[in-house]
Amino acid sequence: MSMRLSAGFLMIKNRGIKQFLALVAVCATAMLGSSALYGQGELMHDDYPDSYLVIEGDTLWNIASQFLQNPERWEEIWDPDDYLANADLIYPGDVLKIRLIDGSPRILLQRGDRTEVRLGPEIRVQPLVSTIPEIPLEDIENSFTSNRIVDPALFAEAPYIVANLGNNLIIGTGDEGYVRGSWPQGTSSFEVYRAGQLYFNDTGTQTLGQGIEYLGFATITEDAGPDLKRVLVNNSSKEIRGGDRLLIREETRIGSTIFPTSPDATVEGLIIAFLGAETMASQLDTVVIDVGLEDQLEVGDILSIRQEGPQIEDEVERESMSFRQRVSDFFNPRQLQLPGKEIGTLLVYKTFEQLSYGLILSSLEPAQLYNHVGNP
């Protein structure tokens, strides 16, 4: 019986391999002289390999990046062999090759040499073979927040809602209102936000960003004056009031599939806030960490969450002290810092200049404020 174990910390769905193999097949089209098809010239690296041998520890992103400039094009020419066992999975030792079928490129998966063992009524030990890890966005995107973190000055200068066209004090989906401010050229769609928590560094002396709460989005319908616009609220998740601000809609940097990676640089930071009124966070909760783009952090990076160890007095050392040393230690006790422990992992899914949002993927204990985060 064949078994498999994730090389990382997550087991992928079967369709993840189907997507990856399609991606590799796209780049192989150019190898067969069909560069006009699928736009391979724009997707492929100049020095792509002729074939690829899958090895233990591979990730979809690492392999795909060897072939394509844009690894997100993976659903184009994968045609699995229904007669091949586990055709939607690849394993270390498998070889990827390309063939032309009716003039179109197709991927050929050549199974590696893996021994299948029929288990009998006894205990046997067999190495586990892992598939390539990925995270489908649809599995976790409902846990993502639509909130943002911006420069406080930028938010203070953004256009703001001054009045509702109706008699209601609050504005919701389908309502219209007037908004005043300086308007960027060529933009008619905006997201609506309300000021949230200000985030500071660990000493409280520097502002790192302004948290803002997402309320909905609106579209300009007409000019109503030199700096006044009439807007329609297309959708609202909460009531919108006077003073709420409009910002240009943020383009998502998350593709349909997230490829977990370790940060390229050394990362050391802290959990400095939770969303809402929470005092702790557990699996699939979002936390705010004080590292971001300035620290070369990227969407898809995985960080470990570490709990600092306790400080204790070394009683054996204390007993060996002289009377004078004990008196001094009484007023200024020496503390031994014990090592901390890893209590979970988080996925970075939104990055800002000095801060980021991270989703807790696994948790042995609830995360607390000022838990350390860093390279796994």
- The CA distance from 240 to 356, in Å, is 26
Q: Is residue 1 part of a domain?
A: no
Contact status, residue 356 vs residue 273, Cβ threshold 8 Å: no
- What pLDDT sits at residue 71? 64
Do 264 and 243 lie in one domain? The reply is: no
pLDDT category of residue 366 using cuts at 50, 70 and 90? very high
- State whether the Cα torsion 275-277-278-284 is positive or negative: negative
Q: How many domains does the chain have?
A: 3
Cα radius of gyration (the chain): 27
Q: Is residue 160 part of a domain?
A: yes
DSSP character at residue 57 = T
Tokens read off for 329: 């230690």
Domain, as residue range, for 225? 143-248
Which of 133, 163, 179 is the last residue in one of the domains? Answer: 133
- The CA distance from 346 to 360, in Å, is 4
Higher pLDDT, residue 195 or 41: 195
Do 161 and 69 lie in one domain? The reply is: no
Do 119 and 47 lie in one domain? The reply is: yes
Which of 113, 133, 153 is the last residue in one of the domains? Answer: 133
Do 190 and 274 lie in one domain? The reply is: no
pLDDT category of residue 36 using cuts at 50, 70 and 90? very low
- What pLDDT sits at residue 24? 45
Do 210 and 311 lie in one domain? The reply is: no
pLDDT mean over 191-217: 93
pLDDT category of residue 84 using cuts at 50, 70 and 90? low
pTM of the model: 0.60
Do 91 and 159 lie in one domain? The reply is: no
Q: Is residue 254 part of a domain?
A: no
Q: Is residue 3 part of a domain?
A: no
Do 21 and 105 lie in one domain? The reply is: yes
**What DSSP string describes 194-229?**
EEEEEEE-TTS-SEEEEEEEEEEEEEEEEE-SSSEE
- Position 29 pLDDT exceeds 60: no
- The CA distance from 238 to 235, in Å, is 9
DSSP character at residue 365 = S
Residue 276 Cα to chain centre, angstroms? 20
Do 169 and 124 lie in one domain? The reply is: no
Do 100 and 156 lie in one domain? The reply is: no
Tokens read off for 200: 């500071």
Query: Pseudo-torsion of CA 168, 173, 177, 182, nearest 10°?
Result: 140
Which of 216, 248, 280 is the last residue in one of the domains? Answer: 248
pLDDT category of residue 344 using cuts at 50, 70 and 90? very high
pLDDT category of residue 80 using cuts at 50, 70 and 90? low
Q: Is residue 8 part of a domain?
A: no
pLDDT category of residue 348 using cuts at 50, 70 and 90? very high
20, containing H or E segment: helix 14-28
Query: In a 3-state reduction of DSSP, which class is residue 21?
Result: helix
Do 166 and 230 lie in one domain? The reply is: yes
Higher pLDDT, residue 164 or 338: 164
- The string of pLDDT tens digits covering residues 159-194 is 999 988 877 778 999 999 999 999 888 889 999 999
Candidate from 54-58, 82-86, 212-216, 286-290 with smallest mean pLDDT? 82-86
* 6 CB-near residues (< 8 Å, 6+ apart): 12, 130, 131, 133
Do 315 and 359 lie in one domain? The reply is: yes
**Pairing assessment for the beta strands 189-200 and 245-248 based on DSSP bridges:** antiparallel
Q: Is residue 265 part of a domain?
A: yes
* 110 CB-near residues (< 8 Å, 6+ apart): 94, 95, 96, 97
Do 155 and 265 lie in one domain? The reply is: no
- Position 74 pLDDT exceeds 60: no
Q: Is residue 149 part of a domain?
A: yes
Identify the burial level of 209 via C-beta atoms within 10 angstroms of its C-beta, where 0-12 means exposed, 13-18 middle and 19 or more buried: buried
- Position 30 pLDDT exceeds 50: no
Q: Is residue 162 part of a domain?
A: yes
